[in-house]
Structure 1
Amino acid sequence: MLLLLLLTNAFVLLPWAGAGRIIGGKKAVAHSRPYMAFLEIETDSDYIKCGGFLIRPDAVLSAAHCVDEEGIENVTVILGAHNVNRQEPSQQKIRVEKWIIHPEYSPKPVKNDIVLLKLEQNAIIKKNVRLISIPKENESVRVGTECNVPGWGQTSVTGPRSDVLMEVKLKVQKEEICEQLLPDYEPQSMICVGDENHKKGTYEGDSGGPLVCNKKAYGIVSYGCGCNLFPEAFTRISHFEPWIREQLRKFAIQDIPGSPSSD
């Protein structure tokens, strides 16, 4: 009966719920996560906010469901931010030239939830704006590893969204837990994460933010179980590393004047 209840309450971390709801976490030290990106997504009828992270001066990774919306008019990335409601001197606000959703992405059921955003201009790498490494293909993180998930957003189910960056520590869990409790969980392309005590996690948002383990981004916030914060499914970045590298190569080619793909 409990298992049935959990399955029927599973949810996607929907971007329109805000940039994220870090529950049971704490306020991050200002600018201690310089790879973090705050995504502002304008549609013809809505204003969506998501997380992301900088992996190259011209490229940000996030969740595909953040930009899987009709009528998107503009996507802007804010780098170097701590308080996203202030114009901090450290901030770099850069428009997104285009975004590449994984060709096998599916919103229902959630699969291959990853997008690469090409920035109109390169970010200026400095103290408060830095890159984060991603794992190579087939590189994994051990069960029991404690990882960090940063994000802006609500700190409770009903509370207001936080202006400043929050963060929460979560552990990598055994795949069997997510296979039992989350519908359509795929170990090859997802990582099972969460807090066994059901007291902290991401919730209805934080979409696109990174799962940072041992100073690398191993996962992307994707979907979870709405009933008790546990467990959560993150997109497994190492599974998509070849696709990411291929898209980054295409980005570089397009930057060469006179190339077939350049404007």
Structure 2
Amino acid sequence: MSVKSRRSLLFVSGALLAVAAVAVPVVAGTAAADPASANQPRIVGGEKASLSDHPYAVYLTDAGGNQFCGAVIVSSTAVATAAHCAKAVAKQDIRVVAGREDKRTTDGQVLSVSKVWVGQGYSDPTKGTDIAVLTVRGQFDQRPAKLPDSGDAGLYAKGTQATVLGWGRIADGGARSDYLRSAEVPLVSDTECKTDYSVYDQRTMVCAGYAEGGVDACQGDSGGPLVVGDTLIGIVSFGDGCAKANKPGVYTRVSTYSDDIKAQAKPRLLG
């Protein structure tokens, strides 16, 4: 099984380097090295989305403006993303771009990062705890997504329709999207996901997708949000290719980390 991170390129010392595929969903399209940038790809099987509906959807770039992951606003001063995204670029080089639906424009805000928190024990997306919180310098103008609480267990029921958002590719190896895209995907039961992925851990992960495939996140979407309404239930983490039959996307189960996210996202007093 070839399980891939949905961030297929790493930035090292300002340079783009291809890396061996590791288990991570295809949601972190890095910007620079796409020869087909004139195309308008999107989340596989999805459609153009609006920030007026999802103002908390943001993306991450390196200091040179190259997009490499997605993220989601969780407070006025913080975003949640995948741990593998947070560790891909040095803190001083990460930029959070908010309020920019079309990456070709200069709309919205570009904020640098003052603090990076990565889930304790994280080592690889397929081993869980693929969660991070980035504290920004400044404040977001956009409202945050809601976090699930103990009364929201029903949000994770099999068949629940959720929305995945990102600026990733339309297919493995395809061009990146210039626009925010979304796709509707049903949640998959823990039993089914364990059949599809032997590494699946129901405490730290949740799966979403169609048995027949065709709709999924893809490279460039890693770290982006999976929401039910405006409630954040998942963070794009890993998958086997994009939109394959019986290979749903695997997401970080946000409910497991809600308390950690809230603690890290609390606005800091200015000293």
Tell me, yes or no, whether TM beats 0.5: yes
Residue in structure 1 matched with residue 47 of structure 2 by the alignment = 26
Match of 1:13 among 2, 6, 13: 6
**Residues 30 and 241 of structure 1: CA distance in aligned 2, closer, same or farther (over 3 Å):** closer
CA deviation after TM superposition for structure 1 residue 25, in Å:
0.6
Is 1:134 the counterpart of 2:134? The answer is: no
C-alpha distance after superposition, 1:213-247 (max 9, x if no partner): 13201010001122716212110111011222232
**Residues 35 and 108 of structure 1: CA distance in aligned 2, closer, same or farther (over 3 Å):** closer
State percent identity of aligned pairs. Answer: 28
Runs (4+) off by over 6 Å: none
Amino acid at match of 2:59: F
Distance 1:153 1:215 in 2: 21
Paired positions, count: 239
Residue in structure 1 matched with residue 16 of structure 2 by the alignment = none
Distance 1:70 1:54 in 2: 19
Gaps of 5+ in 1: 1-7, 258-263
Distance 1:109 1:171 in 2: 21
1:112-131 mapped onto 2 (5 Å cutoff): 112-124=129-141, 129-131=142-144
CA deviation after TM superposition for structure 1 residue 256, in Å:
4.3
**Residues 226 and 216 of structure 1: CA distance in aligned 2, closer, same or farther (over 3 Å):** same
C-alpha distance after superposition, 1:161-186 (max 9, x if no partner): 11011111100011111111113211
TM-score scaled to structure 2, two decimals? 0.80
Is 1:68 the counterpart of 2:83? The answer is: no
CA deviation after TM superposition for structure 1 residue 192, in Å:
1.6
Residue in structure 1 matched with residue 113 of structure 2 by the alignment = 96
Distance 1:121 1:70 in 2: 20
Residue in structure 2 matched with residue 260 of structure 1 by the alignment = none
Distance 1:187 1:243 in 2: 18
SS of equivalent to 1:139: helix
Is 1:178 the counterpart of 2:193? The answer is: yes
Residue in structure 2 matched with residue 231 of structure 1 by the alignment = 248
The question of whether the paired residues in 1 share the 8 Å contact of 2:94 and 2:112 is answered with: yes
